[in-house]
Structure 1
């Protein structure tokens, strides 16, 4: 892969000079105080959940539950990272979404669901509150708590959403965090009552049910809201921006309620019927939607790259390499062999910035970019140059044939 021409280098120098003037900065109270308060809230939520868990199932139950809950989290997170390969979302936002699901959303849900359970027992008699909480309160409250992060991200960081895939990825990470904490409690409670393989199979049976058969249920529910948020982010209609997330949330609640009702009220037959005739087909449809959307993203990027090369933003020889995941992976592998892991990471950052710039150009052309499009374009161009300069410092990283 040939290096850049002098014209391309001069174009980037001009871009860098244009971006030297810093963009308008948010008030210091927002940039410093808000994140600190958010981390404090998440930390307190984590401590509350840990204390409640220990009081209900004991320290050993928490440890056993955490160990069992960790096993299904890995494959679920890996699946969403695989989905997010075209234009990887910022790692700090992905882990923040996971932390919100694991700490903030679970703490809010526990408080409201416990209240609903107590009110149900008072109104309908002892034992009925748990049914009310599982079939009505939990779907409404839990999906709202998980959706809060998605709506907040759409409000403050709308530029992070380039389509449905981004909404699904953030929803999946938030729900994976929620399911992780919830599984700690379920596995710990079963261990406290039955041990590893007691009267009803204990932790082993619970793990097969929640960790093997249905590890994607919470992400599947919340993905409905994520789809709505993704649609809202791409729309120029005010009504769509309001009603798409709302409709997605309603679908998430209904699906969640159906799942809980089949497990709580219907017995094994109803549960298996819902699992095989509803959950699995919807999961298969979600996978098909993700594959289709990833192909759309590839077409968007491939359509924008020639114009970016013509403008002098990327080298002509890089158009084909940036147009497919295979080309990108081969490029990084070749750089890693020649110049090491640090240069390969710089190339990966360059590829990500080029992809974000391609999506931004597509948004500008369709009228969805917003008033800060020019500022974001300067920022992305500057990021591309910085990543490329870092890679160039390693001899042979961006010259020669890949």
Structure 2
């Protein structure tokens, strides 16, 4: 009697891609799970189809719940501390009231929104989950502010700063010698936490810079609110301060526009050092690269605070420095885009030579505008096509970075199993997803739109 042998088939489930819909019989998954964990690779999908069960069993669900509650508690503690009246020998300065904070939040929001969109826009090749973006921003806006406020005030008291109207931690010596190290450490703690938990996902300088920049933008957002509110309250209770609203608007222009690059620029240096350490094989580089990045960010922050404290530069010089720094940041980020494009093309070319991918996959997945156009057209052709196209683009990108990690020696033999899963996923998605950008046309129902316009008229 003859038997028909069937080849292994990759099947799609709501939780991922499995071989014949289940794990291999008799296979002990514990050694493989440990090997994947040591390499930072995600575990093999379990085949669970219930979306709510996947959500409840995902560890990041509970990590997010804990962190958001922690953010709320620390923000409330900061509010309690800043709303208390400050008593000085010269008099009493009222604490910050809720109406003033809301008004100042409106002043600080445009700066935060612009910088956040800039950093998210550059994280395009293998973007992090929006949850990580939100957690990074919340960490900087809540946790980092609470840590810096308490540690800076404690360090200022140790430095015997003479009490004066205003926060003693904002005086020259703590601002130059203490605040840079405390604030940079507080902002980048979340980045190092992600490097420990999901280091496999942080694969490029663009991702690390995006997360570091969002944490810095969140920190600057809350800090600007505090500075604007303090200036408004202090001017309203002090005689001879002049037009309070005009003074606050000048402060908004200075902190929200001219020097708004400060916190993102310094924290970016730590992010670059961290990703260099994560992508390096040498243990010495893994230790020294993040440490060097942190030291550069802290010393740069120290130099910036020092110049701001001891020198009074004209507005023209500040604008010139602002333009120069923004140009440097833009040059660095665009240079990283071309480097990541070359890296993806090189690693996907390995699979083309092995016969696993088509040569057009290299062109379509290493150029950002081609990827974006494929997604736009796929969205017009239905949810199923859009989902398949999005999953395929993410799988191809992950495959390229996985290959890069295996070539560098960062991922061991466990990467081959993940490689097989991704190649199987691409084989299944090829029939549904859009794979070629050349010749795609965006089908827009112009006749239907014209009919709707005539009917409306």
TM-score by length of 2: 0.74
Task: Provide closer, same or farther for how the CA distance between residues 331 and 140 of structure 1 changes in structure 2, counting only shifts above 3 A.
Answer: same
Mapped pair 1:45 → 2:74: yes
Instruction: Give the aligned partner of residue 368 of structure 2.
Output: 325
Structure 1 residues 72 and 62 mapped into 2: Cα distance closer, same or farther (>3 Å)? same
* Unmatched 5+ stretches in structure 1: 1-8
Deviation, 1:336, is 2.7
Q: Distance in 2 between matches of 1:243 and 1:124?
A: 34
Partner of 1:145: 186
Aligned to 1:241: 286
- Aligned pair partner of 1:105 in 144, 159, 170: 144
Task: State the Cα deviation string for residues 151-174 of structure 1 (Å, max 9, x = none).
Answer: 222222111221322221111011
1:137 Cα shift?
A: 1.4
Give the deviation of 1:259 after TM superposition.
Answer: 1.4
* Residue in 2 that maps onto 1:225: 270
Q: Matched residues in 2 for 1:97 and 1:375: separation?
A: 31
Report the CA distance between 1:150 and its aligned residue.
1.6
SS at match of 2:313: helix
Matched, 1:170 2:211: yes
Is the Cα contact below 8 Å between 1:109 and 1:141 reproduced in 2? yes
- 2:128 maps to 1:89: yes
Structure 1 CA distance, aligned partners of 2:422 and 2:215?
A: 27
Tell me which residue corresponds to 2:112. Answer: 73
- Aligned counterparts, 1:208-357, within 5 A: 208-268=253-313, 276=320, 281-309=324-352, 314=357, 317-337=360-380, 339-340=381-382, 343-344=385-386, 346-357=388-399
Bigger-Rg structure (1/2): 2
Compare the two structures and name the one with the higher helix fraction.
1
Pick 1 or 2: higher relative contact order, CA cutoff 8 A, min separation 6.
1
In structure 2, the residue corresponding to 1:211 is in which secondary structure?
Answer: helix
Deviation at 1:65, TM superposition (A): 1.6
Tell me the distance in 2 between the aligned counterparts of 1:199 and 1:44: 32
In the TM superposition, what whole-angstrom CA distance separates every residue of 1:361-395 from its partner, at most 9, and x where no partner exists? Answer: 12212212356423543554566578768x55xxx
C-alpha spacing 1:93/1:72, structure 2 compared with 1 (3 Å): same
288-297 or 308-317, larger mean C-alpha shift:
308-317
Count matched residues: 383
Q: 1:133 to 1:239 in 2, by over 3 A?
A: same
Contact 1:357 1:377 in 2 (8 A): yes
Question: For residues 275 and 248 of structure 1, what CA distance do their matches in structure 2 show?
Answer: 27
CA RMSD between the two structures: 3.4
Q: Secondary structure at the match of 1:159?
A: coil
Asked whether the equivalents of residues 213 and 268 of structure 2 are also in contact (C-alpha less than 8 Å), the reply is yes
User: Is contact 1:11–1:313 with CA below 8 Å preserved after alignment?
Assistant: no
Distance between the aligned counterparts of 2:253 and 2:204, measured in 1? 34
Contact 2:9–2:20, Cα closer than 8 Å, also in 1: no
